[in-house]
Structure 1
Amino acid sequence: MSFNVKEVAQLLKQAKENEKPYVFFTGAGCSVKADVPTATELIQEICKKFPIQVKNIDPEKDKYNYGKYMSALDKSERRELLKPHIIDNKKINWAHIALACLMQGGYIQRVLTFNFDSILSRPCNLLGLHPSIYDFATANPHLYHLINDPSIVHLHGQGTGFVQLNTREETLKHTEKLGDFIASTLNSNPSLFIGYSGNADEFFPLLEKKYSEQHRLIWTGRKDNLDLIEVEPVKGFLKKNNNLTHYIGGIDADDFLIQLAKELECFPPELFSNPYRFLNQQLENIQPYPLGDGLDILENLTGYLKEQAKKPLNKSLYTAVIHKYPNKESTQGLAEKAIDDIMWAYNKQAVIFLENQNFNECFRIYEQALSISDSHLGCNLNFSAAKLNLAINNPQESHFSDAIQYAESVLLKFPNNLNALITHANAILGLARFTKDDKLLSKVISMYEEIYQNDNNHTYYLENFALALSDLGSIKEDKKLIKTSFIYYEQYLAHQKNDIQVLENYISALFNYYHLEPNEELLNRSIELIQTVLTSKPKDTYNLACYYSLKNNQELCKENLLNAEKHNTLPSNPHKHLSDDQDLNNIRQEQWFSNLLERLKEKEGIAKTA
């Protein structure tokens, strides 16, 4: 029988309530992500650094025999091998932070580790927890009843200790001394093994011998199921006692322990969720500043930390907030303002995903947030905008339809909200432009007109109102519609004069009107707008080329069109666009233009082949 993380969390909770917290046994797999090598990696390093010492070892037969390789080195060479990884390496991985959280929460009474590294002690100290630490390579194991918990017990020694047990002979001799201690541990508390294969030392036979089914034993491993375990004694042991011994496969130590700590609501630690309050609490253990010089650095610092701790941290430490409040249940009992702060923390993370165009994660975060409070206006509106953002960046009819559908659901919750109305209209505009549906364009123009009549104090939607009018006017060759769009373009640009996309849309509308009714005044307005664009994008000379084409200045048209080609600033799908663009009709018969189209067609063909 196996368990999932939620079930393991319940077992740890029950054990704590019964005053029999779990004992964890940790192996090298817990330290891998702190850049501590596994036994196999150390064997490879030994072969590289000490080829002479290991020349008599069979590289095939003994390729996984860590003890045999270590026995080929003298103790000085072993220290030389391990020092960069164990003593000089100061990294901390998240498996050990989560273990420290579980210890601090009272869910783990003791950690027995086969590792030499002191990684676990460092996050414990960071969190303000100071467990007792014992080195059983040198301590008297018969005095185990004197251990003060919570504790960390190094079964094979510490990196900074006088003795590290590496070879099978050393661990076998030492294991014989640990019998009573291991029997007492297994008979007193339930246990969980993580990051330990049972293959690199002589401890496992002792475990098998001393386990008497007094308490549950959970064994975790990377193999997906018990039958895939390569260490036959471990597989046989777990199958023999399968009512009380349980294998959980597919486990990464960092992921599993973080999820376990989150289920038990002891992750993230306060160091990450409110570092000001945490540090202030740690400073309470310091005695008052002794000098009467009026420069009390302790009081000055604690006063600052107390003030900072009062401030909401949802905008700066948003990820910690999300970890702490992953669902509706975790927010039970919180005030409305506190839940609002949590929702904005989710929004902050979703926006970051959106800025990186990681739409799947953005949507997941919004969905998680709305499962906490589905009536939060900000998250509803911004999720709706994010769905439209996906449709704009990856135009597909299904994406626009999804954006429209979600916008309509937001309007059901907030029927008169201006932002909800605008996002809904913008989504319909996107679909109308994508499908070139003039009926949808007419519908969305009516929607914008209604919005404008009810609230003309806001201008941030006017560019889309103008775009809808100019698009429909161009499709229907309706000068009045296009000319009406100029009013809204001008209103918008009065507030956002350097919005490049809107400037370019306005220029296109002016050109489209010129084809229906040549008007020098409007053409002069277009060159003003083009010059504004060129101040920000000096290499983007396509519209300038179109202007000179309309003015029948072929030389300047050619110069600016070839310049746009040179700097790769032609419109998307350039061959089709230039072939269809009526702004270029005056130079369409020129040989140089025909040559340009040929080059673009050839380049397009090469790109498709690639």
Structure 2
Amino acid sequence: MPGDPLSPLSFLATSMHAQKGVYALLLGSGVSTGAGMPTGWGVVTDLIQRVAASRGEGLLEDPAAWWRELEGEEPGYSAVLEKLSQAPGTRAELLARYFEPTAEERADGIKMPTVAHRAIAELVSDGYVQVVLTTNFDRLVEDAIREAGVQPQVIDTIEAIQGMRPLTRGAPTVVKLHGDYQQLNTRNTVEELSTYPEELARLLSRVFDEYGLVVAGWSAEWDHALVDLIKATSARRYPMYWDSRSSKGEAAKGLIEFRDGRSVPAADADALFSDLRGAIRSLEGMAQSPLTTAMTLATAKRYLTDPTKRVALVDLFDDLAGSAQLPPADVADVEGLDEYLLEVRAAATPLARTLYHCVRYADASIDALLAGAVRSAVVPAARGGQPTRDWELYPAVLATYAVGLASLKFGRDDTLLRVLNTRSGRPLSYSAQEEAALGGLMHPWVALGDLLDNRLQLPRFGGTRYKTPVEKLLQVDLQAVLKDDISDSDVVELMPHVEFRIQVANSASLSAGETMRGVHAGAAADFRLWHRSNDDDAHVPRMRLERAIASGDAPAWASLLEGSEVLAEVVEQLRKNRRY
């Protein structure tokens, strides 16, 4: 299964997992040809060839033209069958060789449900898919669903539509748009596919209005009525996803553009649906950890009041940190980056909120555990000392800022420093030999460097070009993550102080001779944080930290900065980068 969380497949899996039953499948001949099933047109042309052979004709170059000349009509599936087999029993025997496997074919898996059909059946049986539309005459998809233990309602005639159960109730529904191979009401020619019966058209209009679509094995080249029905649906409650193999034509591209859809890279239907099912299984596995953030918080608070539960608290932190980590993202564009960052924010929320509450309700005795939780959210360095990349650090950044906001709001200044000074398990760069402190990795130029490009405009910001996109991103995300715990105004007020402490701790930890990294012109560099425009001593975050040290509320900071010029050096760089 592809590991790129920004892939269309991943977004589809996430959406299907979160909203069971809101996507319908639209399956074309490409889903069944992998099983050795012929297309309806393939059956027609082979039957015509057999008629020609019985009349002493050789191999026909154009079976359709030969039939038109012979019969004076288009060679539709129904028309050819009517000429060749008047009795239903004869017709069944004639068609069996095309759609029903022989014993040998069954042994070889030919004309049997494929990997795709079985994956679809699992999606149906697990409740992720309630409606399956298929243009195929065969019965592979409904057979696979039955084998999965579910009895679908199969709609293959107008009469069946009139008596069907509602789509949203009871058993899943398979709608055979072109009919079943045993019937003479099938649609196959261009003329037959140019219009649909009124009852079928109404049913499909409802599906296209109320459901998202996952399209596979259908090119949209010949089925004009189906194309028109999709285009006639103005509502787009859920998006459209279409496998890349069958969506290459102009008709398919037009529908994707019309529905704001996305092409899903997939070698074939087997790969598409097996990968989709695998991705959903992964999400199901993640859902087995604490059921809700509220339950997690209640559990953490219970552990905090019982010193014998420290091991259980560590295990809880480790579980939350593991759930906060998403696979590395190969960010292709700013839209993909924005979508991925929203996924990260959601994944990191339980960890960040839990740490915030632990700072609020516990004392310094658990500071080491808090630091360990943030450290667990940092993805270990890859072989060769590879530095952070692909937004691996963002969950840890959100967790660190949550600790920082709580530390400042509840008078726990030293807690943030203890977290920042904890070894991270990662070097800062390819060439670095020693692991960095967490404070070093949280430095904006390390953790969020890609966003320091002032030209970057995240779609969620509506085109606004912020001078400090990192500051804006962190503010918006922290307000969302901690919306039930701290006011938006407190986040805005405290962020410069957290950022300032991160940069001070980072600079104070440098070895002798090491050059201080550049200071990010973010929240702590806002000109409004200076009481007098040219007085460095009037920098508000510096004054707050110095007051905490002087009052004895921050002994760890006092020890770190004793005899040091780091405060003045950081403020001087902030002054040079001051934002107006």
What's the TM-score bracket when you normalise by the shorter of the two chains? 0.3 to 0.5
Q: TM-score, normalised by structure 1?
A: 0.37
Higher share in helix: 1
**Which structure has the larger Rg?**
1
Task: Choose between structure 1 and 2 for higher RCO, CA contacts under 8 A separated by at least 6 residues.
Answer: 2
